[in-house]
């Protein structure tokens, strides 16, 4: 039987099926869209319903003052802007002023209804292209609505944006454009505690009449609201001038001013600002407190932090928002710091009426809480220049533990007894030049020779630090410093980073050093604990992060090294009883291009800490316009350490004494040879053996090989013993072969410098008489000696007698002040060259005095020497 046929689908049935699928898709998409639109509509309605109550009085009324508290909840300041807010009528504001603000802030102000769709779309496109969300789309009306009615204007949410838009539309409905613009100009913050354009005109130009404002003055005022602190001409004149020039360009393009006016005013000086600044600098006020509230530098920093990108509060909210601002300041420590900075005895005498300035930051390393800030010896204006947080200077040697010693210990292979040679070294500085670092006391005290890391840290030895950074790599040190929070730039990736050439603030340094005190964990430094509204509701709680940036063993080794600085090194003035105090001094050098051979320092630093607190002190002049304002005989271990001690003594007054830093597992110790950094050998003299520390795995296992034993002539101890020597004794010497023989050895190594020739009588000026001498060999003759100071070389001709063709020439040189001849193998040789050239040192550093030369032949087959030639002499005068 035939199987039944499957029904055949007709063309119409297939079409119906396709239509059915398309219909299902449309219904589904439509349903999703309807649901989304409904949800969006509900969201918008809810947001509008929750919009703050419309209160026209908020446009003109002053709000409640904000209160600032210390860490114990005690009130320290009341913030308000009433004294520096002056309301003006629309008729008192020139049309040119209004036109400029509209051109800069909201060029379609007169054409939109409070919200500018074109601006919103444009900003969104720019954000999408850049991948950021930084473009603003706020109109002048929205800015007014935000500052007048929104409880938390810094909140970034869609709800707040909808509420702002709703309020802006209502403002446009209730008031004319001119009224809105007038409200705006009376409320806006211009920096320097100035609210409203009238107060700003008085602050920056000393003018009460707005009609007398010139185009450059109008441009500055119109440019300030974007970043009042960043464009403040009292603090950042260059940034203010650049911003003003941009606004003048906008005014010219909008035909508010002519091209002639633009050219006339674009480089105008800040005459009134400069006059006020000069008056401030001449004010003789030895008190660190001259504000209307306690702790002005600390409170200023808090306000600046609130206005910064982390919190983004508007100045109006800070000063008139009724906030309760709880800070980290410790009143006892802050008062001690202010007392120390108010005492003239803690500062060196100035060269004139311009005072030597200073700054200090103290923080708790375990929490990151800033306990005290002093930004100068006097506080002259609210939100003025704060040297502790805004002043950046070169830190000198205080940077060494941060970018040299800690990264070396963290890297491994180094420990507190690692030995390097403090002797001259040169590095390629680019452009065909070399850089030769020196120590601050090299000229007066000479080179220090082979020293340990501990000695280098204790005595702030520059050459050791540079050599160590070169060994670990500049990138390693730079990256480690960045991990500690130092504001290093790419152009700081150079070897001189080891000596503190970047610019940092005392707060930067205190935060970085706090990582050592906190056992290798970096905590966000902060001055604000929390912010509440008038009703006690928390508005802001800082996000404090903790990050381990080094091993506990690394932090401990640094603590131990810096403890030695205070007990035995350059920081002894910072000692506080039995407290465990670690610290590092730093002093910068004058630029020889500007100052020539003058001695002095632009900066002096002391960075110190206990297990409880870390504090950093900077001292110096703000600027040196005439080449006379720099520190004389002031070092980090002097006045800065003295101030540090006074403040820290008060800070630690009621705390139990801690005599040591916590020692973690993984630290080993043992005896080392301080001239090799290895285990002592049987020849190591006892005075060169000491105990050092290392992280487990980094303590040396090799025995020292720098000591050798040789026989000397007891009757002539600067000579080796020969076969005819009557009285021989054995003596231990340092076997250092990689030093320039013209250099003077340091005092602790000089007695161990080995002799190189055998005494043979006759005053010791020839080497004959020993079986190593073959009298049958010919003797060379030296010609007169000439000196080339540009190359620091001596040259002389040598004559080769018959029979010397198969011999090699050996030259002996005795340098000024040395008892022994040094041996050279010159390039001049029989059959090759008859001109001897000898390096006598580095260019510009050749020792003055008499140089003595003599020569001999050596038979390579028998290793015997000829008699030495008659001596040739060269005298170099100082």
Residues 6+ apart with CB under 8 A from 10: none
Cross-strand bridge partners of residue 522:
547
Contact (CB, 8 A) for 57 and 166: no
Q: For 250-289, give the DSSP string.
A: HHHHTTSS-HHHHHHHTT---HHHHHHHHHHHH-----S-
CA distance 553 to 843: 44
CA distance 649 to 339: 13
Contact (CB, 8 A) for 358 and 374: yes
Catalytic residue among 66, 314, 397, 866: 397
Active site annotation includes 805: no
Cross-strand bridge partners of residue 584:
607
Tokens of 817: 């002040």
Helices (H) and strands (E) in the chain, counts: 24, 29
Q: Of 449, 373, 380, 499, which Cα lies nearest the Cα of 706?
A: 449
CA distance 872 to 796: 9
Tokens of 462: 């520059």
| DSSP element (H, E) containing 172 | helix 158-174
CA distance 777 to 799: 14
**CA angle at 286 for the pair 284 and 287, rounded to the nearest 5°:** 125
Hey, how many other C-beta atoms are within 10 angstroms of the C-beta on 648? 26
CA distance 41 to 36: 8
Cross-strand bridge partners of residue 813:
822, 853
CA distance 153 to 181: 19
Q: Is residue 699 classed as helix, strand or coil in its secondary structure?
A: coil
Percentage helix, strand, coil, to 5, in the chain?
Answer: 35, 20, 45
Catalytic residue among 105, 172, 529, 749: 105
**CA angle at 370 for the pair 368 and 373, rounded to the nearest 5°:** 155
Between the CA of residue 640 and those of 176, 402, 441, 515, 645, what are the distances in Å?
60, 19, 20, 21, 9
CA distance 699 to 693: 8
* 405-434 CB burial, b ≥16 within 10 A, e <16: bbbbbbbeebbbbbbbbbbbbebeeeeeee
Between the CA of residue 258 and those of 181, 245, 443, 571, what are the distances in Å?
24, 14, 62, 62
> Beta 707-713 vs 728-734: how paired, if at all?
antiparallel
Residues 6+ apart with CB under 8 A from 354: 281, 621, 629
Radius of gyration, alpha carbons of the chain: 38
Hey, how many other C-beta atoms are within 10 angstroms of the C-beta on 386? 24
User: 191 exposed, middle or buried (CB, 10 Å; 0-12, 13-18, 19+)?
Assistant: buried
Q: For 489-501, give the DSSP string.
A: -GGG-SGGGGGT-
Active site annotation includes 3: no
Q: Of 151, 196, 176, which Cα lies nearest the Cα of 55?
A: 151
Active site residues: 105, 397
């Amino acid at each position: 039987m035939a199987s039944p046929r499957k029904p055949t689908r007709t063309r119409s049935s297939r079409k119906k099926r396709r239509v059915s699928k398309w219909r299902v898709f449309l219904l589904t998409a439509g349903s999703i869209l309807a649901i989304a639109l409904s949800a969006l509509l509900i969201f918008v309605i809810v947001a509008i319903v929750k919009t703050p109550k419309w209160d026209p009085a908020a446009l003109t009324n002053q709000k409640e003052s904000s209160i600032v508290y210390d860490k114990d909840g005690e009130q320290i300041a009341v913030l308000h802007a009433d004294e520096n807010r002056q309301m003006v009528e629309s008729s008192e504001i020139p049309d040119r002023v209004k036109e400029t603000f509209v051109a800069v802030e909201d060029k379609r102000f007169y054409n939109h209804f409070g919200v500018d769709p074109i601006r919103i779309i444009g900003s969104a496109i720019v954000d999408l292209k850049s991948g950021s969300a930084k473009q603003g789309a706020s109109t002048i009306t929205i800015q007014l609505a935000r500052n007048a009615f929104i409880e938390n204007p810094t909140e970034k949410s869609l709800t707040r944006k909808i509420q702002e838009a709703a309020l802006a539309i209502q403002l446009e409905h209730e008031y004319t454009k001119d009224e809105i613009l007038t409200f705006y100009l009376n409320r806006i913050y211009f920096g320097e505690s100035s609210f409203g354009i009238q107060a700003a005109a008085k602050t920056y130009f000393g003018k009460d009449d707005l009609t007398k404002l010139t185009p450059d003055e109008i441009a500055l005022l119109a440019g300030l609201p974007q970043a009042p602190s960043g464009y403040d001409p009292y603090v950042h004149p260059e940034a203010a001038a650049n911003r003003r020039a941009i606004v003048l360009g906008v005014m010219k393009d909008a035909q508010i001013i002519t091209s002639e006016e633009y050219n006339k005013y674009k480089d105008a000086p800040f005459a009134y600002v400069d006059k006020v600044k000069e008056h401030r600098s001449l004010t003789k006020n030895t008190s660190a407190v001259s504000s209307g509230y306690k702790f002005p530098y600390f409170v200023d920093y808090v306000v600046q932090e609130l206005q910064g990108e982390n919190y983004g509060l508007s100045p109006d909210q800070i000063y008139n928002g009724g906030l309760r601002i709880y800070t980290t300041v410790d009143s006892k420590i802050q008062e001690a710091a202010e007392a120390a900075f108010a005492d003239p005895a803690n500062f060196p005498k100035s060269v004139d009426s311009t005072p030597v300035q200073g700054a200090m930051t103290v923080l708790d390393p375990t929490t990151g809480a800033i306990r005290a800030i002093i930004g100068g010896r006097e506080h002259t204006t609210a939100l003025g220049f704060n040297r502790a947080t805004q002043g950046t200077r070169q830190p000198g040697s205080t940077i060494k533990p941060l970018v040299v010693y800690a990264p070396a210990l963290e890297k491994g292979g180094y420990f507190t007894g690692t030995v390097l040679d403090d002797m001259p070294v040169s590095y390629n500085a680019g452009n065909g030049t070399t850089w030769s670092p020196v120590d601050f006391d090299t000229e007066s005290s000479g080179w220090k020779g082979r020293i340990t890391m501990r000695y280098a840290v204790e005595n702030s030895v520059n050459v050791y630090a540079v050599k160590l950074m070169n060994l670990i790599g500049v990138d390693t040190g730079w990256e480690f410093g960045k991990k500690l929070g130092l504001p290093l730039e790419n152009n700081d990736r150079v070897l001189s980073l080891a000596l503190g050439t970047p610019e940092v603030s005392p707060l930067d340094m205190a935060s970085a050093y706090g990582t050592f005190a906190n056992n290798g964990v970096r905590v966000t430094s902060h001055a604000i604990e929390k912010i509440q509204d008038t009703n006690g509701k928390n508005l802001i709680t800082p996000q404090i992060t903790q990050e381990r940036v080094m091993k506990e063993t690394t932090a401990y080794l640094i603590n131990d090294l810096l403890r030695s600085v205070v007990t035995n090194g350059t920081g002894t003035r910072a000692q506080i009883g039995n407290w465990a105090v670690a610290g590092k001094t730093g002093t910068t050098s004058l630029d020889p291009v500007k100052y020539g051979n003058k001695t002095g320092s632009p900066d002096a630093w002391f960075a110190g800490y206990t297990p409880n607190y870390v504090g950093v002190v900077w001292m110096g002049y703000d600027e040196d316009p005439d080449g006379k304002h720099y520190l004389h005989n002031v070092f980090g271990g002097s006045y800065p350490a003295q101030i540090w001690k006074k403040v820290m003594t008060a800070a630690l007054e009621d705390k139990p004494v801690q005599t040591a830093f916590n020692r973690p597992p993984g630290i080993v110790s043992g005896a080392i040879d301080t001239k090799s950094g290895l285990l002592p050998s049987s020849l190591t003299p006892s005075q060169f053996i000491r105990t050092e520390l290392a992280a487990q795995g980094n303590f040396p296992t090799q025995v020292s090989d720098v000591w050798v034993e040789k026989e000397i002539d007891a009757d002539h101890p600067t000579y080796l013993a020969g076969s005819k020597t009557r009285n021989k004794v054995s003596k231990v010497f340092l076997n250092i072969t990689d030093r320039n023989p013209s250099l003077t050895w340091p005092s602790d190594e000089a007695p161990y410098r080995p002799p190189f020739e055998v005494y043979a009588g006759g005053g010791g000026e020839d080497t004959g008489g020993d079986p190593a001498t073959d009298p049958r060999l010919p003797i060379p003759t030296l010609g007169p000696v000439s000196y080339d100071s540009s190359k620091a070389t001596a040259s002389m001709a040598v004559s080769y007698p018959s029979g010397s063709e198969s011999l090699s020439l050996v030259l002996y040189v005795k340098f000024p002040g040395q008892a022994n001849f040094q041996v050279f193998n010159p390039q001049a040789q029989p059959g090759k060259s008859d001109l001897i050239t000898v390096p006598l040192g580095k260019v510009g550093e050749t020792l003055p005095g008499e140089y003595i030369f003599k020569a001999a032949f050596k038979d390579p087959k028998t290793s015997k020497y000829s008699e030495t030639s008659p001596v040739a002499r060269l005298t170099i005068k100082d």
